[in-house]
């Protein structure tokens, strides 16, 4: 069952609702520019600045997953799981699987404690090639 569209500021606008709808329909992580291009394909008039602002609001509300790539670009995906989780991401096709942190959770707590930190959060994403890409499909 779909989660309700989160409130974004004082009022939800047509543009913000369009961004959220497109984001929910995309399977893989996507950049703000890719999301904007999809909106234009659907003849939905939403400015790129509005897309960036909406994604920032969703990110702050923890309503989207965000991948920070090594090139500085941020990629976004609708959260399908409201619990703390990580991602396994295919570097070729972008296929994404939500995974739990397993031993990463314990390690993050231990390393923070070891160095006198109180853990407030962490990111751990796993990148590789999925079976279909390895098979050449």
Q: Which residues are annotated as a binding site for Zn(2+)?
A: 90, 93, 130, 133
What 3-state DSSP class applies to 111?
helix
Binding region for Fe cation: 84, 105, 122
DSSP H helices, the chain, are: 14-25, 32-41, 48-60, 103-114, 131-134
The answer to whether residues 128 and 88 touch, using CB atoms and an 8 Å cutoff, is yes
Which of 123, 8, 113 has its CA nearest to residue 75? 123
Query: Backbone phi, then psi, for 68, in 5-degree steps?
Result: -100, 110
d(CA 73, CA 32): 9
Query: Contact 122/84 with Cβ under 8 angstroms?
Result: no
Binding site: residue ranges?
84, 90, 93, 105, 122, 130, 133
């Amino acid at each position: 069952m779909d989660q309700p569209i989160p409130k974004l500021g004082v009022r939800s606008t047509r543009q913000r609702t369009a961004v959220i709808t497109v984001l929910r329909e995309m399977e893989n992580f996507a950049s703000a520019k890719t999301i904007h291009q999809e909106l234009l394909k659907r003849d939905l008039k939403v400015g790129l600045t509005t897309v960036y602002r909406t994604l920032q609001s969703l990110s702050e509300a923890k309503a989207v997953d965000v991948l920070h790539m090594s090139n500085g670009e941020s990629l976004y995906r609708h959260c399908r799981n409201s619990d703390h989780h990580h991602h396994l991401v295919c570097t070729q096709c972008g296929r994404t699987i939500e995974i739990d942190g397993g031993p990463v959770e314990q390690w993050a707590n231990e390393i923070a404690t070891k160095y006198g930190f109180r853990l407030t959060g962490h990111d751990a994403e796993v990148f590789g090639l999925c079976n279909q890409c390895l098979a050449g499909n």
